[in-house]
Amino acid sequence: MNERVNVTGTSQVMRPVDHPPVRAGRIGVLLMNLGTPEGTTYWPMRRYLKEFLSDRRVIETPRLLWWPILNLIILTKRPGPKGRDYASIWNNELDEGPLKTITRNQAEKVTAHLKSIAGDKITVDWAMRYGKPEVRERIQALLDQGCDRILLVPLYPQYAAATSATACDQAFRALMDMRWQPTVRVSPPYHDDPVYIESVVASMKQELAKLTFEPEVILVSFHGVPKEYLLKGDPYHCQCVKTWRLMREAFGWPEDRFRMSFQSRFGTAEWLQPYTDKTVEALAKSGVKRMAIVAPGFSADCLETLEELNGENRDIFMHNGGEEFAYLPCLNDSPEGMRVINHIVERELQGWI
């Protein structure tokens, strides 16, 4: 005997009475960002750093060399100081890092936008490559809600193996264990997308208008990677340079006033140059008294922007002769930021909605 079963999002079909439950016909969107520790004390920081620094996409040093360095030195000494850095920017009200707060807000606003154009057939969720919520867990949650098509959205404007690729790796690992895999799309990097460039520049102008001074120099800072990764074929450096060039052209400033650099280097190997901290120091020592810094490679403010740029680099500038320093926020879940994410998601869902 058969019974009529409603399959979510489709017309009713006839299935045997002993057929397992089926939920299908919906579309899922998963926003993916880097991650944040679950707390600022020693053990949450250690777990987070271990997961992050054990990723072969992030650290390509041979395991025989890297394992003792990581486990005997870094994971012993770094959790304490890094935890204090996180504590300085922590969202104490929600007891979480700002990256988690902002990414959640972005997902909620994408949900509202898609509902206005596609009704209730799309579910939007969010996940972190390191820490929680886990990518595997959120993909399963989308499947459980009947999403048999999922758009993965790595929230990195510029592609790098250590960011976009490892986020997708984590999703693909989850898919490997699934009997009924969803159909998956991955949104591409958007380093030169006109909507992205326009939104970043518009946001910068809005923030600059709030200042009591005009910067002599604006420094565009991107997260660094080892130079070796560029030489192996990673397109990240080239995409950062193109983003900077398009921003500068849209902004209308000459190169000597609109500069670029790379931050957050780690270890002793050569990384992409010029280095942000060294550039900030050199600007101050050269007589620049007023500067602003912006980080368009981050879709949301986090430790590397709030503590490193607005904290450490502000101190470097001031201690070397600078007088006025401004950090210009990331796009976050601002109207300009959501314009970018909504544009990308809506474009990549074409043919599905």
C-alpha distances out from residue 30 to 51, 128, 325, Å: 21, 10, 36
Residues of the binding site for Fe(2+): 223, 304
CATH number of this structure's domain 26-189+337-348: 3.40.50.1400
26-189+337-348 and 194-328: identical CATH topology: yes
Q: pLDDT digit of tens for each residue in the chain (353 aa)?
A: 444 444 444 445 566 776 666 677 899 999 999 999 999 999 999 999 999 999 999 999 999 999 999 999 999 999 999 999 999 999 999 999 999 999 999 999 999 999 999 989 999 999 999 999 999 999 999 999 999 999 999 999 999 999 999 999 999 999 999 999 999 999 999 999 999 999 999 999 999 999 999 999 999 999 999 999 999 999 999 999 999 999 999 999 999 999 999 999 988 899 999 999 999 999 999 999 999 999 999 999 999 999 999 999 999 999 999 999 999 999 999 999 999 999 999 999 999 98
- C-alpha to C-alpha distance for 133 and 50, rounded to whole angstroms: 17
Question: Does the predicted TM-score (pTM) go above 0.75?
Answer: yes
Neighbours of 37 (CB within 10 A): 27
CATH number of 194-328: 1.10.260.40, 3.40.50.2300, 3.20.20.70, 3.40.50.1400?
Answer: 3.40.50.1400
Residues of the binding site: 223, 304
